[in-house]
Amino acid sequence: MKIYHKTIIIICCTVFILSAFLLSMSHLIILRSFQDLEDRMVRKSVEQALGALSSSIEELDSIAVDWASWDDTYAFIEDLNPMYIRSNLVDETFINLRLNMILYYDLEGHLVYGKAFDLERKMEVPVPDSLLHHLKLEDSLSTEPVRGLVILPEAPLLLSSRPITRSDGSGPVKGLLMMGRYLDDEEVRRLASVINLNMEITGFNEAPTDVRGALTSSETPILVRPLDGRVTAGYSLLYDIHGKPGLILALTQPREIYAQGLKTVSYFITSIIAVSILVSILILKLLERMVLSRISHLSSEVMRIEERGDPSLKVSVSGRDEISWLAERVNSMLERLHLQQEAIRLYNENLEKLVEERTRELIRAEKMAAAGEVSAMVAHDLKGPLQTIRNAVYLLKRGAKEPGPLLELIEGAVEQAGKILEDIHRDIKGTLNIEPVDLGALIRNAVKEAFPPPKISVSVRLGEGLDPIPLDPSRFRRVLDNLLRNSLEAMPNGGVLKISAEASGDEATIKITDTGRGIPEEALKHLFEPFSTTKDEGWGLGLPYCKRVVEAHGGRITVESRVGEGTTFTIIIPRGGPPKIGPP
């Protein structure tokens, strides 16, 4: 990708990240400010509605004060003068004062007189039993002024109770005057029209559960909660005269402030994006004129020199900055490169002569190394037969009662040594001598001539189908000898050696298991590599030879070992012989 394109991508990414950041910040700061302003406005409206309700209660209480501190009322509570009723407790009084009931109680708590009025139907109605029952539940009617809410089944009631005294306020108190006004839908609409707000009053238990919980658990008396993107609501809890939650006042207002905040944020983001795009275009043009075009020219000059392959050419870039400095460094590098090419040409001529001389020396050294490897292999493979001969001679010197078997062992070991020398000769030529072989007999002879010591228990288990199998008997015998010798040497203090062979399908499997000291996990990785050994006096050639011979027969050899538990070598060869006869 060209620098020009990378620059465009970087500028676009910068504009995108900046816009996203400003959008987030605008939502966190600007829009949050509008939300806070909206919250304050709703709270102010709720406070205004509470003020209107409080004014209605104060108005009712003021009327009750005027009537209770009046000589005519003072006299009426004593003599129940009918003229007081006909003159004052007429329907027009209830209509003009917007009263729903007036109750007169004596000091004993008995209702002396009471009248209720339906303002909607403009007619007298019975005093609600629910109110009388509520008042009877009080232990004693207090002569102290009381005003507030009473929750009745008919409707919430604004109630004011005042002691009845003379007009000058002197006593003694003769009773109580109670005035009530229903806080019904009509009264709520009147209050809403006074404050010009959309107001509702509902019962405490009729409000949503989350609203009730928030109002009762919050320390603030007003709860503001947006209903959706267009309407927000404010709530306040109204308590009755006993201080218990009675009603919930609710206001709903359109979210005009929030909508204006969204518009402001949109205008802000649009302006930022537009300015960012214009600034990005300006920056890109300046970069292209002052930097990118000069870098492109420098790149073209370098490519021209590369195509011609002539470091004697020079590049030219105008200006006095890092780009022109880079052009000077390129020219200096080209000059040094030209000088180095001449030096390399002279060096190559001398090197070719030196390589010819060193090649001849390496060929001589390789021949000597090959001879050394063959010598090491001969010494390693003859170790087994020579050890057999040494053991047999030792027993003969000790005066063995039956020298015949020992002489047969010596004869077999001499024959095995001769075959080893023939195999090494064939290894050099790279050929296998394949013939049908009884694999079971080959294994038994190898175990017998391994001459295991008495302190090692040997177990041989041979299955069916092991005769005949095409293989090179001499080389495969050397494989078995190497593996058996390794297992015996791994158990210097005695142990168990198990050899098993069985045929399954087109393959024959041989397993040689010992209970020796085991092989470390790190050594297992290089076990089949030449000159890799875990023995103090080993050559490290036996297992690589085993792997080479088994694979030459088209088979495979694996090893499993645990330190302190033992080792198992597994050989799997095809029963039909190697698919392609080749050197081991």
In this prediction, residue 139 carries a pLDDT of 46
Averaging pLDDT over each range in 13-27, 135-149, 198-212, which range is the top one? 198-212
Neighbours of 310 (CB within 10 A): 11
| Residue 568 in this model has a pLDDT that exceeds 90 | yes
Whether the Cβ atoms of residue 573 and residue 469 lie closer than 8 Å to each other: yes
Helix, strand, or coil (residue 576): coil
pLDDT-based confidence at residue 353 (cuts at 50, 70, 90): confident
Tell how many helices (H) and how many strands (E) occur in the chain. 17, 17
Give me 95's structure tokens: 């209509």
Task: Parse the chain into domains and list their residue ranges.
Answer: 6-254, 430-574
Q: Which CATH number fits domain 6-254: 3.30.160.60, 3.40.50.10490, 3.30.450.220, 3.40.190.10?
A: 3.30.450.220
In this prediction, residue 350 carries a pLDDT of 81
pLDDT (tens digit per residue) in 537-565:
666 778 898 999 999 999 999 999 999 99
- The CB-side HSE value for 71 (13 A sphere, CA atoms) comes to 2
Phi, psi dihedrals of residue 173, rounded to the nearest 5°: -70, 130
Residue with tokens 């300015």: 275
54-80 in b/e form (b: 16+ CB < 10 A) is eebbeebbebbbebbbbeebbebbeee
Average pLDDT, the chain: 84
pLDDT (tens digit per residue) in 255-305:
888 888 888 888 888 888 888 888 888 888 888 887 777 787 778 878 888
pTM as predicted: 0.47
CATH of domain 430-574: 3.30.565.10
Of 160, 162, 187, 186, nearest to 174 (Cα)?
Answer: 162
Percent of the chain with pLDDT over 70: 89
- The residue type found at 285 is K
| Residue 580 in this model has a pLDDT that exceeds 70 | no
- The CB-side HSE value for 399 (13 A sphere, CA atoms) comes to 0
Whether the Cβ atoms of residue 519 and residue 559 lie closer than 8 Å to each other: yes
175-182 β-sheet, strand order: 123-125, 111-118, 101-106, 175-182, 156-164, 146-151
